[in-house]
């Protein structure tokens, strides 16, 4: 599993108008619609339902919203860099400016977990996050993610 299989260049975006978690989820829904032809409303609904189980803000300004959908056949992701951090109810109570959303088929088991682990390990690296925050160009962000070497699992 690598970012090349999870992420399309058109699923990377820098966003300047988001002021809340709900608005971020709407932005993710719109982007998933344009990049993967998924129903934006269903994407937002799935993210909100998953978030109700517990916040997906993992700390250090990073959120990993994720959900299962019944209308996709492989794990897909999208990356958003926010120009202004937002409150996300993160575990460390810090605002979020990096969001990587993952979507998996309802029946996906290990592939969903592998994708989540890859993204989590990669975005836990302060050097990778610093590069992402310093390069607000979608094609550069895509390249940084594809070149990142995640830390090995403990």
Known catalytic residues?
66
Q: How far apart are CA 87 and CA 89, in angstroms?
A: 6
Q: How far apart are CA 98 and CA 129, in angstroms?
A: 8
Q: Which burial class, exposed, middle or buried, applies to 105 when counting CB atoms under 10 A from its CB (0-12, 13-18, 19+)?
A: middle
C-alpha closest to that of 7 among 108, 145, 104, 127? 145
Alpha helix locations (H) across 13-151? 21-36, 40-53, 110-123, 126-134, 138-147
Q: How far apart are CA 106 and CA 69, in angstroms?
A: 5
* Cβ(129)–Cβ(94) below 8 Å: no
């Amino acid at each position: 599993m690598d970012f090349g299989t999870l992420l399309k260049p058109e699923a990377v975006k820098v966003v300047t108008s988001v002021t809340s978690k709900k608005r971020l989820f709407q932005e993710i829904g719109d982007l998933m619609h344009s990049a993967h032809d998924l129903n934006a409303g269903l994407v937002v609904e799935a993210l909100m339902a998953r978030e109700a189980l517990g916040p997906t803000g993992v700390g250090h300004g990073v959120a990993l919203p994720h959900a299962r959908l019944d209308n996709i056949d492989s794990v897909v992701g999208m990356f958003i860099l926010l120009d202004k951090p937002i409150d996300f109810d993160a575990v460390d109570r810090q605002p979020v400016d990096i969001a990587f959303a993952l979507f998996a088929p309802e029946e996906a088991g290990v592939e969903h977990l592998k994708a989540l682990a890859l993204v989590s390990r990669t975005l836990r690296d302060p050097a990778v996050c610093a590069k992402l925050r310093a390069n607000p160009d979608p094609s550069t962000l895509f390249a940084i993610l594809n070149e990142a070497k995640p830390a090995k699992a403990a």
